[in-house]
Amino acid sequence: MAQKCSSFIPVWGKAAIRGARKLVLRLLYRGKGRWCPVCCRPSRRFSRYGLLSREDAQCSFCRSLERNRFVWLYFSEQTDLFDGRKKTMLHVAPEECFEHRLKHLLRDGYVTADLLNPRAMVKMDITNIQYPDESFDVIYCSHVLEHVIDDKRAMREFHRVLKSDGWAILLVPISVGVTYEDFSIVTPQDRLRAFGQEDHVRLYGLDYVDRLAEAGFNVKTVKPPDLFAEDDVVRMRLTPASGEIFYCTK
């Protein structure tokens, strides 16, 4: 297998490239029209992102998206995640914009998991989690369950490994009124037509909360306007693409 070109670049060269990129970004996005709460950087605007190319969506510095910024604000202002007390946190399918920040804050209590991503600390099938009951104070899983055939079993597993006084944020995109799934749809092409993405197996609706409740969770749903002033929503681009936060407790 051919090596990636970047593997031939020395460490000092990679550092120089990163430095040059940061300088270009500072010049290109210099301004104060936008604010990213994840990396705490102002910018003139956010960059385009997505298959449908959303304008003003991604922070050019830390690459956070609308939902990432909303979640980070919620972590910071509405939970005890950063209160300095020792915690164990399971982060499924870790986002790069969060990963090193959470590792720095939580140290040995932070565990990343994924079924396929080799960067994750633990290989994990969330329908059969390899940890004992009540292992984690916090569980965070964003936009994963729509890829999982037996999502209800995964929800029960999250409930099982969450401590009795812990909390979980389990995010999915809500795109229809009632959840739609058809397990006879199996090819990537057919899934793209039915669910909007080749590796999705359902479209979640407003009854997602009922699925979480069936797994044993108490659920609180929060949207950006519930917590933040309109000026802050605009400045941080907490658009409808930010989605909703589903805060789950036992």
Please give the full DSSP string across 81-147, using - where no structure is assigned: TTSSS---EEEES--HHHHHHHHHHHGGGEEEEESS-TTSSEE--TTS--S-TT-EEEEEEES-GGG
Question: At the topology level of CATH, where does 65-249 sit?
Answer: Rossmann fold (3.40.50)
CA distance 3 to 164: 47
- Find the radius of gyration of the CA atoms of the chain: 19
**pLDDT digit string, tens, across residues 60-80:** 899 999 999 999 999 999 999
Using CB atoms within 10 A of its CB, is residue 128 exposed (0-12), middle (13-18) or buried (19+)?
Answer: exposed
Residue 1 structure tokens: 């297998």
Q: Hey, where are the domains in the chain?
A: 9-62, 65-249
Which stretches of the chain drop beneath a pLDDT of 70?
A: 1-27, 29
| 106 C-beta neighbours (distance < 10 Å), count | 19
**pLDDT digit string, tens, across residues 117-129:** 999 999 999 999 9
The pLDDT value given to residue 52? 76
